[in-house]
Amino acid sequence: MATTKKTTKKENILTRERLIDLYMDYVLENGKTPNIIYKFTKDNGLKEEDFYNFFGSFEALQKGVWDKFFEHTMEVMQKSEEYSDFSAREKLLTFYYTFFEILSANRSYVLFSLKQEKSPLKKLGQLSTLRKQVKEFARDINREARIEAHGKTIKTPGSAFAEATWLQLLFLLKFWMDDNSLQFEKTDMAIEKSVNTVFDLFDTTTLERVLDFGKFIWKEKMA
């Protein structure tokens, strides 16, 4: 009995992660977002002020969902013993593969949350803190790439690389949303080709891989 009570009490402790899970469950079970914080918290056995200990609004919580996806991605990558020895290119590839695996595990929520918003600005609004996290990660990748270059001139500054990485993620996100292939294998192919293209552009500014990538996207979108 003592063990059961202890477990139940622990499960009732409200955390940022649990509040996010409750929100996602609501969206998936009801096919809509909650409108009133008071009712949402009451239905989940919480007090309204409990919500405000973590988020100021449902909009802030939506951003928190994407923060959680990013944080989980970083945790998974950094648990790997091999990750620290990866090259900058390999780290970016690993990030995308891991991030989209996590999105795939939450695909129903992601598709709903992005498709329900008709305004592009509102869609990007819930990704605003994710954008900051991704760009900071990209700056770290850029610094590692410069170290790996061993004195070789890399013309692309960290800020440009960070913005390119963010735009690349948005492109891959749209590609993944439209991908109906088995286990999203076409998205995996797009990730590899897009990352190789970016690094080749920054390293050698060759055109061949850009054209190859462009042909790949054209075929997939027109198929």
For residue 220, the model assigns a pLDDT of 55
pTM tops 0.75 = yes
- Left if phi > 0, otherwise alpha if psi is -120 to 50, otherwise beta: which for 205? left
**Closest listed residue to residue 164, CA positions, set 144, 125, 194:** 194
pLDDT of residue 212 exceeding 90, the answer is: no
* pLDDT tens digits along 171-197: 999 999 999 999 999 999 999 998 988
* pLDDT tens digits along 34-50: 999 999 999 999 999 99
DSSP state for residue 85 in the 8-state scheme: G
Q: How many CB atoms lie within 10 A of CB 153?
A: 6
For residue 199, the model assigns a pLDDT of 78
Helices (H), the chain: 2-11, 16-30, 37-43, 48-52, 58-79, 88-105, 107-115, 120-125, 128-148, 158-178, 185-204, 208-222
* pLDDT tens digits along 67-103: 999 999 999 999 988 999 999 999 999 999 999 999 9
Per-residue pLDDT band for 209 (boundaries 50, 70, 90) equals low
For residue 11, the model assigns a pLDDT of 54
Greatest Cα-to-Cα distance within the chain, rounded to the nearest angstrom: 69
* pLDDT tens digits along 113-143: 998 877 666 678 899 999 999 999 999 998 8
For residue 1, the model assigns a pLDDT of 38
